[in-house]
């Protein structure tokens, strides 16, 4: 195990607990010693050892050698591969369990193939708790390499309610890290949506943390949000108190800094991929923009002073029966946005799969997401599992699926109602409103872009299609009008 922080350390103990001898390597000796101390408490210290040099580490491993990386994304992985290079032999296997950029993964795979060394890019989800007790894992690479590691990974992976392991053969190349990257983009869209609902309940409806916790718990028990990990932990977070009886949430600042401090890159990459592949993914991207804005709290304070105040969320007034109805609309709106996030994310994966010829197994991907991961959502998982049981035809856009269309259509009125109320009351609702607009423009055949296209043709001679012509592919039109002589 190279990299023994919270994720790597948790996985090291998980492997040891399942009878695997694990040798540890980390730049920080204190980190390794702390991990060994925890292993001692759990009775698995005898299955773990530490090595400071790559040479010593490699000499202590059987053949073929198996390495698991849990490292910061970027150049650190390159440095480790370079350091190991003199000691690697044909048949050795590296499992990169970091949140690495898929392009780095493919580059390293290409570099090591001449040496006969397998490199698997494996997304790991569920946080440090799941890393210790059984995460969701998404490995991608050569079939031979996956054949070698899947028996072990199935043993330690999270299990769904049916006892099936949440790990599988994702695809070839960098598909494992790509799917995990988009998983995190979906995660950001879901978290943004839920945070917006939380603030509507807290500031708009005046609900206490305990009341919000009860509401989330109720959402998690039945209906479309049943068995949703983020809803479940949302209930716990709202109810959690410190040793003095104070709600922990009450002292948490409104700053998400992981995109800025470099510890998290997947949200940025997923938005970039949506743009590069021309996939509308506003639920994912708009949630990310708020994360970015939140990080710069000092700047927001200055802007507020410049404006002479802000646009406060206004209290909602209504009877208890009206409040109950509103909360039900809010639940449906959250579900609609969650589903929109899944649709957008999977459509990105699908286009990347076609481009890279990874042969992604979407049925396996849905199983990987069934438990042990942040985007676990039982109702949506059941629906997607049923969809991907059927052989795929050439039409792979989830918005063309009748079941998905019905779910989004049925919940559209509630989403629209909550966005309208949010706008009126100054609620901060970028993910909810982006999801609404996404549905509106995705199903509409009378967009305002006729005017947009005419302007492009006016000043740039960019050409246009005629309404009288059949709907075509996204290619340059054949018509130009000389709006004004040069």
H or E segment and range at residue 93: strand 93-96
468, exposed or middle or buried, with CB in 10 Å at 0-12, 13-18, 19+?
exposed
b vs e for 244-277, b when ≥16 Cβ sit within 10 Å of the residue's Cβ?
eeebebeeeeeebbebeeeebbbbbbbbebbeeb
Q: How far apart are CA 177 and CA 128, in angstroms?
A: 18
Determine whether 155 is an active site residue.
Answer: no
283 and 193 in contact (C-beta within 8 Å)? yes
Report the C-alpha dihedral over residues 250, 256, 262, 263, rounded to 10 degrees.
50
Contacts of 482 (CB under 8 A, 6+ apart): none
Q: Helices 102-113 and 75-84 sit at what angle, rounded to 10 degrees?
A: 20
- How is residue 155 written in tokens? 């043993």
**CA of residue 255 relative to chain centroid, distance:** 19
| Catalytic option among 180, 239, 376, 416 | 180
Dihedral pair phi/psi, residue 207, rounded to 5°: -80, 145
Determine whether 180 is an active site residue.
Answer: yes
Dihedral pair phi/psi, residue 2, rounded to 5°: -105, 110
What does 184-239 look like in DSSP terms, one character per residue?
A: HHHHHHHHHHHHHHHHIIIIIS---HHHHHHHHHHHHHSGGGTTBHHHHHHHHHHH
**CA of residue 158 relative to chain centroid, distance:** 17
Contacts of 186 (CB under 8 A, 6+ apart): 284, 341, 342, 344, 345, 375
Q: How far apart are CA 73 and CA 262, in angstroms?
A: 9
Edge to edge, the sheet with strand 66-69 lists 66-69, 93-96, 118-125, 136-140
| Catalytic option among 50, 65, 100, 187 | 187
**CA of residue 421 relative to chain centroid, distance:** 28
Q: How far apart are CA 485 and CA 126, in angstroms?
A: 61
Residue 201: which of 323, 311, 290 has the closest Cα?
Answer: 323
Q: Helices 320-356 and 266-276 sit at what angle, rounded to 10 degrees?
A: 70
By annotation, the residues acting in catalysis are 180, 187
């Amino acid at each position: 195990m190279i990299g023994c922080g919270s994720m790597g350390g948790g996985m090291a103990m998980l492997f040891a607990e399942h009878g695997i001898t694990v040798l540890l390597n980390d730049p920080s000796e204190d980190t390794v010693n702390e991990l060994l101390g925890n292993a001692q408490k759990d009775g698995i210290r005898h299955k773990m050892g530490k090595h400071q040099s790559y040479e010593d580490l490699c000499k202590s491993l059987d053949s073929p050698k198996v390495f698991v990386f849990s490292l910061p994304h970027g150049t650190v992985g390159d440095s480790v591969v370079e350091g190991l290079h003199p000691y690697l032999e044909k048949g050795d296997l590296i499992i990169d369990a970091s949140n690495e950029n898929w392009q780095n993964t493919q580059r390293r795979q290409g570099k090591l193939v001449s040496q006969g060394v397998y490199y698997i890019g494996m997304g790991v989800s569920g946080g440090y708790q799941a890393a210790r007790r059984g995460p969701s894992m998404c490995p991608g690479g050569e079939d031979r390499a996956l054949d070698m590691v899947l028996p072990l990974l199935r043993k330690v992976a999270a299990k769904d309610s049916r006892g099936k392991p949440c790990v599988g053969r994702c695809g070839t190349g960098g598909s494992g890290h790509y799917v995990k990257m988009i998983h995190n983009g979906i995660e950001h869209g879901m978290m943004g949506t839920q945070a917006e609902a939380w603030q509507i309940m807290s500031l708009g409806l005046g609900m206490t943390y305990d009341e919000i916790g009860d509401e989330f718990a109720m959402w998690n028990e039945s209906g479309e949000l049943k068995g949703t990990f983020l809803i479940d932990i949302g209930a716990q977070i709202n109810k959690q108190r410190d040793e003095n009886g104070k709600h922990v949430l009450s002292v948490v600042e409104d700053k998400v800094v992981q995109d800025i401090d470099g510890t998290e890159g997947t949200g940025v990459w997923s938005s970039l991929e949506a743009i590069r592949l021309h996939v509308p993914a506003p639920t994912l991207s708009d949630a990310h923009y708020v994360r970015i804005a939140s990080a710069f709290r000092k700047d927001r304070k200055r802007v507020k002073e410049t404006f002479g105040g802000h646009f406060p969320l206004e209290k909602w007034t209504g009877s208890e029966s009206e409040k109950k109805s509103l909360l039900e609309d809010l639940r449906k709106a959250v579900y609609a946005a969650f589903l929109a996030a899944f649709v957008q994310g999977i459509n990105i994966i699908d286009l990347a799969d076609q481009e890279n010829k990874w042969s992604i197994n979407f049925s396996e991907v849905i199983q990987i997401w069934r438990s042990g991961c942040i985007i676990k959502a039982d109702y949506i998982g059941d629906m997607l599992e049923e969809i991907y049981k059927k052989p795929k035809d050439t039409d792979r856009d989830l918005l063309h699926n009748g079941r998905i269309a019905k779910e989004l259509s049925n919940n559209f009125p509630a989403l629209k109602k909550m966005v309208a109320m949010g706008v009126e009351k100054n609620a901060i609702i970028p993910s909810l409103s982006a999801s609404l607009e996404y549905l509106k423009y995705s199903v509409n055949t009378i967009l305002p872009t006729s005017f947009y296209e005419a302007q492009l043709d006016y000043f740039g001679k960019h050409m246009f299609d005629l309404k009288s012509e059949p709907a075509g592919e996204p290619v340059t039109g054949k018509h130009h009008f000389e709006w004004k002589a040069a």
